Amino acid sequence: MEIVRPQWKPPSNDVVSTLPLYRSAPALEVRLEDFELYAMDRLRVLKGISDGLSRGKKAEEMEKLVNDLWKVNMKHPKAVEVLDKDVISHFVLRLVYCRTEDLRKWFLSMETALFRYRFRLLAADAQRALLTEFGLPYRMVARAEFEGIKEKLVQVARSIGQPMLSSDAIFYKVPFEEVPELVAGRKVFICKGHAYVAMNQVVSLVVTQFRSLLSKALILTNRKWTSAIREQEKDRLTPIVEALCSSYLGPDYSQPKEFAEISIKDIDLVAKSSFPLCMRHLFEKLREDHHLKHGGRMQLGLFLKGVGLKLDDALAFWKAEFSQKVGAERFDKEYAYSIRHNYGREGKRTDYTPYSCQKIISLTPGVGDHHGCPYRHFSSRPSYGLRNIQTMANQPFGISSQSLVAT
């Protein structure tokens, strides 16, 4: 189908920002395969941002990360279609993540962060163009007023490590409640209920507006989805929408590689030198107890499959451990099926891939479980094995997407 380009309304000046505000869905006809692929590309960006924030990256590091993620995932063979891909992918994911409160919360947070760092990467004239497009009713501080409070503005700039103010510095006068993060961080001068926001701080102002608009839009989208769209599109779009938020976006481990195989005789050495901490803990608990609950079996089993353990070896490995506790006959009857199922030999014949870090972090282990992320789920109590984990964490470990490597 042909793509009908939307009629954008640029601001009144000559500079047009390349950062959309996503106020309304564009009048576009999209191929079904593009509908899904565009959304997955944007989802890779959002999950990359989530990972960066969870690792405590600084603002400068996040700017570079977002820029790199955007260039890699949101490119298009036709340069003129990049903006369309941006808008389409946003509205597809808005539909995907409007469906529950938790999904809305995550999407709102990640899209706001993406908007923040994309805005900061814009040139000053493009930022001003976006302010105009927002239609914010805030005025620039007049020269006479600026001179009257310049000393106070200089003190604020100095306290937060900003460069000295130039004679042509631009400030906006806004109600202080419009920039809560600047007020909370004492990064802005306040006088008579108004905050004086420097041009390099305007991102806080527009992000607050963007978040508010998107939050309201997600509620409205949820109402439309529940009342009409889900049923109308049950045979076409609904299955895609409901599956996208749980799609696996990591490397493809499902295809066996000659240089990505491990054997049972090498597995202990490889586990000690190269398994990530979560998998090493599961492996050692399996060796110690000769049993793992379902969550642990799934997390470790799919990981072992991903790093090259063949089905026959996997069956032999798990049987050797479990038979010490439950017996060989019970293993064959109760556990072997799920191993073959993970390898696509039973049931729906789906060739399952290993859990991503994001999925492992989001798991909720129960009493007696050993799966999940050590840095998120493990207790500080020695009885839960943290002393051993701390010892393990001091040892080198790592795994590449294609083969095991010690790092």
- The average pLDDT across 339-353 equals 84
**pLDDT computed for residue 280 by the predictor:** 92
- The single residue listed with the structure tokens 């007696």 is 368
Q: How would residue 260 be classed by pLDDT, with cut points 50, 70 and 90?
A: low
| Average pLDDT score over the chain | 81
* pTM, rounded to two decimals: 0.59
b (16+ CB within 10 A) / e for 26-64: bebebeeebbbebbebbbbbbbbbbbbeeeeeeeeebbe
Give tens-digit pLDDT for 272-321. 888 999 999 999 999 999 999 999 999 999 999 988 899 999 999 999 99
Q: Between residues 13 and 165, which one has the greater pLDDT?
A: 165
- The average pLDDT across 345-353 equals 80
Distances (CA, A) of 193 to 109, 177, 189, 273, 368: 28, 8, 10, 60, 55
**pLDDT computed for residue 380 by the predictor:** 56
Residue 1 has pLDDT above 50, yes or no: no
Give tens-digit pLDDT for 90-115. 999 999 999 999 999 999 999 999 99
For the chain, what percent of residues have pLDDT higher than 90? 32
d(CA 92, CA 181): 30
- The average pLDDT across 184-204 equals 86
For the chain, what percent of residues have pLDDT higher than 70? 85
Residue 259 has pLDDT above 50, yes or no: no
Residue 382 has pLDDT above 60, yes or no: no
Give tens-digit pLDDT for 43-76. 999 999 998 888 888 888 999 999 999 999 998 8
d(CA 288, CA 42): 42
Residue 250 has pLDDT above 70, yes or no: no
Q: Region of 323 please: left (phi>0), alpha (psi -120 to 50) or beta.
A: alpha
Give tens-digit pLDDT for 134-147. 877 777 888 888 88
Tokens of 405: 């490597």
- DSSP category for residue 344: T
CA terminus-to-terminus distance, the chain: 49
- The average pLDDT across 31-40 equals 87
Q: How would residue 185 be classed by pLDDT, with cut points 50, 70 and 90?
A: confident
Residue 158 has pLDDT above 50, yes or no: yes
Residue 379 has pLDDT above 70, yes or no: no
d(CA 352, CA 379): 30
Q: How would residue 251 be classed by pLDDT, with cut points 50, 70 and 90?
A: low
